[in-house]
């Protein structure tokens, strides 16, 4: 992100929040919710190659949280079947990292504080 945006991103703090549903996460900036998503632990996310692609047997419909695309949760043992059918299959950690990266890009102006600018000018 530093190479792409030209700024150093402050550390990300991860905290457990018992008021969230299982698998749900929030992304906050300065204590304000800017994004959220819901994942199913033990599953993978499969993105179909086209809008008319039929879902795999046993797939659970969802929306990919970063871009709002149609997606499905599939059991880990269905990964190969999904890839053969043309689906892009990603781990849940990849989903979260992609979502966080897009939020950082969208809110970079709020993440670049006066103190960070001063640090950049000293370098």
**What residues are paired with 89 via a beta bridge?**
46
- Tell me the H-state helices in the chain: 2-5, 79-84, 92-106, 108-111, 114-122
Average of per-residue pLDDT values in the chain: 90
- pTM for the structure as a whole: 0.83
Considering the domain 2-122 in this protein, what is its CATH number?
3.40.30.60
CA dihedral 110, 113, 2, 5 (to 10 degrees): 50
Q: Give yes or no for a contact between 73 and 82, defined as CB atoms under 8 angstroms apart.
A: no
Percent of the chain whose predicted confidence (pLDDT) is above 90: 67
Q: What is the mean pLDDT of residues 83-111?
A: 93
Look at residue 22 in the predicted model and tell me its pLDDT.
92
Chain mean position to CA 43: 15
Task: Determine whether 6 is exposed, middle or buried from the number of CB atoms within 10 Å of its CB (0-12, 13-18, 19+).
Answer: exposed
Domain range summary for the chain, segments of one domain joined by +: 2-122
| Better-predicted residue by pLDDT, 120 or 34 | 34
Look at residue 123 in the predicted model and tell me its pLDDT.
58
pLDDT in tens, 102-117: 999 998 888 777 777 7
Say which residues have a Cβ less than 8 Å from residue 86's Cβ, sequence separation at least 6: 48, 49, 53
pLDDT in tens, 65-81: 999 999 999 999 999 99
Q: What is the mean pLDDT of residues 88-94?
A: 97
């Amino acid at each position: 992100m530093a190479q792409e945006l030209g700024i150093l991103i402050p550390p990300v703090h991860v905290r457990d929040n018992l008021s969230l549903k299982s698998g749900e996460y929030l992304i906050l900036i300065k204590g304000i919710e800017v994004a959220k998503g819901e994942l199913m632990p033990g599953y993978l996310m499969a993105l179909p190659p086209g809008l008319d692609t039929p879902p795999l047997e046993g797939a659970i419909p969802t929306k990919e949280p970063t871009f709002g695309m149609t997606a499905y949760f599939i059991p880990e043992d269905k990964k190969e079947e999904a890839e053969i059918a043309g689906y892009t299959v990603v781990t849940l950690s990849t989903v979260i990292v992609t979502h966080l990266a897009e939020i950082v890009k969208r809110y970079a102006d709020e993440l670049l504080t006066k103190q960070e600018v001063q640090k950049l000018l000293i370098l």
